[in-house]
Amino acid sequence: MQEKKYKALFRVEGGEDIDVFAIAGESLLDAAKRANVSIDAPCAGNGVCGKCRVKLLSGTVQSEPSRHISPEEFADGYRLACASIVVSDIEVQVPAAALAWQNRIKVSGKGAVREQAIFDALQNELSGMGIDNDSGIELVTVKLEPPAATDALADRERLLRTISRQLNAEETDITITLYALARLPSALRQGDFSLDCVVRRDAPSKSGITVLDVFPGGASPVIAGIAIDIGTTTVSALLAGISSGAILASGSAGNGQIRYGADVISRIIESGKPGGLQRLRSAITGECLVPLILKICQTAGITPENIYRVTVAANTTMTHLFAGISPEYLRLEPYVPAFFEGGHLTGAELGLPVNPNAAVLLAPAIGSYVGGDITAGVFSSMLFKKESLSLFIDLGTNGELALGNREFLVSCACSAGPAFEGGDISCGMRATDGAIEACRVDSETMEPSPEIIGAEAQPAIGLCGSGLIDLVGELFRCGIIDAKGKFIREGSRVRRDQWGSAAYVVSFANADNPDSADVALTETDIDNFIRAKGAIFSAIRTMLAVLDMPVEAIDNVYVAGGIGSGINMKQAMRIGMLPALPPEKYHYIGNSSLHGAFAMLNSNKAGEIITKIGRNMTYLELSTHPGYMDEFVAACFLPHTDSALFGSVETFGAAS
């Protein structure tokens, strides 16, 4: 019997209308996925996050009211796409809020990088280690003898002869790419047989030489590279001059895969469905990386083909999906990935808008859930060369940790969820304009004093990770919420819905702007956050227990993650996310994954060290450790079931 189908028309705000036939009994979200309509669904369609809100314009769906949609909104046609079953022909409006991951590509020009001081410090550290710009890519100017009746040598062979003499290399060791060869005849004659050649000396011997590109002599082309951090929720990139290391532009965007689920397990499951791997690869490459790179290049005023080197740091699942390789066996015991090190890849193979022969270098992974983002992060934090015992924490959807010093390194991962990057939080967002990145609350009046990213008059749009940590810490400090994250005080800032669930309004909607909305943190949001912070703390405790080390043995804690301008460490300790240690032991180092990828971009030696870190680090699989779940359950309170672990926090100095 043939399946009954209904016509579904998705009217995408700010985009094109999309038609699809929905199968009777399937959800609106599933129909949208098949039509490649990008609707935000961090909870993988389980009805938990409330971010897949759409508006039913005509037709009928089976859907019940939920805590994410008020009775007034329900009457006005708003529905959760994941909880709405198609039972007739329908017309649906997809609002901008449901496209949050897609609509917020942010690009900054030269000199506007938020973490410039951290990059400068990293550059100085690398110079002190003798790691200079040695990518092997350089600009070589050559002057060729023009052809004549007595010298009718072809252009390619003429160039090979000249370069071999100038660089003292054998012609057989020189390769001219097809891309460069296609440009060679016109470039030669436009430059009167003077050429600027972009060449790459192949490591480690550098005896092999590849001509990547050619320009008429005197063109002085920009030789650029791009470093990319592919996070589960957020993708960040830096465009830099390869020889100078100068940052030309930077940008970030939401990872388009989030509509298939906020966590890596959801995406691994999706990849195993028919066409799933291709959909996920398209979501990260075609829908995210391609427009992000093009926009960054436009801002810097260069053509994408002038990017001759790409470095990528990402967790193991993201690396597999980026390369189009099935991550299926990452979630099946004994949790074995297809690869740790990516080998020789090119921009053309991976579908990136860069020079087709640009080398794409992947930071090596360590285990099934600890990837190149951690090897790159451990490098940029310099953990691998320190005498003292240090803890490295990367606050992301896939929370990853490393503990050790120059003698040993141990790593593990925990499923923290996307709360730190704005996912699973009703008012959550990435650290871009309009995000509340810090907040104080008056203990008497309960009035907030938020700090907002952007221009002075920038209104609040939502909460980024650092703002979320701050606000939960303040609500707990002021006695507005209890250890379970439930509201126990009433006031003008606390509102309750028809089911009695409470929320704290950080910023009220602008009455003069009908498109603005309240920024409110709900009890469900706080519950999701408590699980995220509990995953981090329980992972720390488990790792220390395995090594039989007390928390006091840690001399320094390096906290990474692109979740805001900085983390209030005292607040993070107050709520039980980080161990109670003197604040001076904590150091926020920003997006260390991107910093490590940036180091790889400019230096082959840095890449070699990062590879060595990956090969020498021990991986601890938490899912097989018998005590981890007990630790996690105990940590899912504010601050913990054993509050004595955090008794010293209030004796520390003022939060900073």
* Pairing status of strand 234-241 against strand 224-230: antiparallel
Residue 165 structure tokens: 């003499």
Measured distance CA(185)–CA(144) in Å, rounded = 12
- Average pLDDT (143-169) is 94
Residue 650 structure tokens: 């209030």
pLDDT computed for residue 655 by the predictor:
47
Q: What is the average pLDDT value for the chain, to the nearest integer?
A: 89
Q: Inform me whether the pLDDT recorded for 228 exceeds 90.
A: yes
Is the Cβ–Cβ distance between 163 and 144 less than 8 Å?
Answer: no
- CA 256, 284, 607 angle in degrees (round to 5)? 130
Choice between 515 and 490, residue whose per-residue pLDDT is larger: 490
Question: What tens digit of pLDDT does each residue of 254-281 get?
Answer: 898 988 888 899 999 999 999 999 999 9
Question: Comparing C-alpha atoms, which of 246, 78, 114 is closest to residue 591?
Answer: 114
Integer angstrom CA distances of residue 235 from 63, 141, 593:
34, 36, 11
**pLDDT band for position 98 (50/70/90)?**
low
Question: What tens digit of pLDDT does each residue of 475-484 get?
Answer: 999 999 999 9
- Where do we find the tokens 């509990």? 534
Measured distance CA(646)–CA(649) in Å, rounded = 6
Residue 624 DSSP one-character state: G
Q: Is 134 helix (H, G, I), strand (E, B) or coil?
A: strand
- Average pLDDT (554-560) is 95
pLDDT computed for residue 286 by the predictor:
93
Question: Comparing C-alpha atoms, which of 554, 558, 557, 534 is closest to residue 622?
Answer: 534
Burial 247-268 (b: 16+ CB within 10 A, else e): bbbbbbbbbbbbbbbbbbbbbb
Question: What tens digit of pLDDT does each residue of 541-555 get?
Answer: 999 999 999 999 999
Q: Inform me whether the pLDDT recorded for 291 exceeds 60.
A: yes
- Where do we find the tokens 């969820």? 417
Choice between 656 and 480, residue whose per-residue pLDDT is larger: 480
Measured distance CA(286)–CA(240) in Å, rounded = 22
Residue 204 DSSP one-character state: T
Q: What does the longest C-alpha to C-alpha distance in the chain come to? A: 95
Q: Inform me whether the pLDDT recorded for 43 exceeds 80.
A: no
Is residue 654 exposed (0-12), middle (13-18) or buried (19+ Cβ within 10 Å)?
exposed
Burial 445-458 (b: 16+ CB within 10 A, else e): ebebebbbbeeeee
First to last CA, the chain: 66
Question: Comparing C-alpha atoms, which of 444, 425, 445 is closest to residue 435?
Answer: 425
pTM for the structure as a whole: 0.86
- Where do we find the tokens 């840690």? 554
- CA 536, 51, 92 angle in degrees (round to 5)? 160
pLDDT computed for residue 595 by the predictor:
93
Question: Comparing C-alpha atoms, which of 437, 440, 645 is closest to residue 540?
Answer: 645
**pLDDT band for position 69 (50/70/90)?**
confident
Choice between 592 and 396, residue whose per-residue pLDDT is larger: 592
Q: Kindly state the helix (H) or strand (E) to which residue 128 belongs, with its residue range.
A: helix 116-128
Could you give all domains of the chain from N- to C-terminal order, each with its CATH number? 5-103 (3.10.20.30), 134-216 (3.10.20.880), 224-362 (3.30.420.480), 372-418+529-648 (3.30.420), 420-525 (no CATH)
Amino acid in the structure at residue 188:
L
pLDDT computed for residue 654 by the predictor:
52
Amino acid in the structure at residue 277:
L
Is residue 499 exposed (0-12), middle (13-18) or buried (19+ Cβ within 10 Å)?
exposed
pLDDT computed for residue 402 by the predictor:
96
Q: Inform me whether the pLDDT recorded for 29 exceeds 80.
A: yes
Is the Cβ–Cβ distance between 144 and 162 less than 8 Å?
Answer: yes
Measured distance CA(484)–CA(473) in Å, rounded = 13
- Average pLDDT (304-324) is 97
pLDDT > 70: percent of the chain: 95
Is the Cβ–Cβ distance between 410 and 543 less than 8 Å?
Answer: yes
Q: Inform me whether the pLDDT recorded for 656 exceeds 50.
A: no
Q: What share of the chain is helix, strand, coil (3-state, %, to 5)?
A: 35, 25, 40
pLDDT computed for residue 203 by the predictor:
67
**pLDDT band for position 559 (50/70/90)?**
very high
Measured distance CA(505)–CA(518) in Å, rounded = 7
Question: Comparing C-alpha atoms, which of 52, 126, 13, 28 is closest to residue 426?
Answer: 52
Question: Comparing C-alpha atoms, which of 257, 138, 258, 109 is closest to residue 201?
Answer: 138
- Average pLDDT (439-450) is 96
Burial 595-618 (b: 16+ CB within 10 A, else e): bbbbbbbbbbbbbebbbebbeebe
Choice between 231 and 3, residue whose per-residue pLDDT is larger: 231
**pLDDT band for position 72 (50/70/90)?**
confident
- Average pLDDT (115-130) is 77
- Average pLDDT (445-453) is 95
**pLDDT band for position 399 (50/70/90)?**
confident
Question: Comparing C-alpha atoms, which of 288, 289, 296 is closest to residue 112?
Answer: 296
Question: Comparing C-alpha atoms, which of 246, 237, 159 is closest to residue 195?
Answer: 159
Q: Which residues contact 442 (CB under 8 A, 6 or more apart)?
A: 448, 449, 478
Q: Inform me whether the pLDDT recorded for 223 exceeds 80.
A: yes
Is the Cβ–Cβ distance between 410 and 404 less than 8 Å?
Answer: yes
**pLDDT band for position 531 (50/70/90)?**
very high
- Average pLDDT (390-417) is 91
HEC string of 265-309? HHHHHHHCCCCHHHHHHHHHHHHHHHHHHHHHHHHHCCCHHHEEE
Question: What tens digit of pLDDT does each residue of 412-427 get?
Answer: 999 887 888 777 788 8
Is the Cβ–Cβ distance between 304 and 353 less than 8 Å?
Answer: yes
pLDDT computed for residue 97 by the predictor:
60
| Partner residues linked to 496 by β-bridges | 502
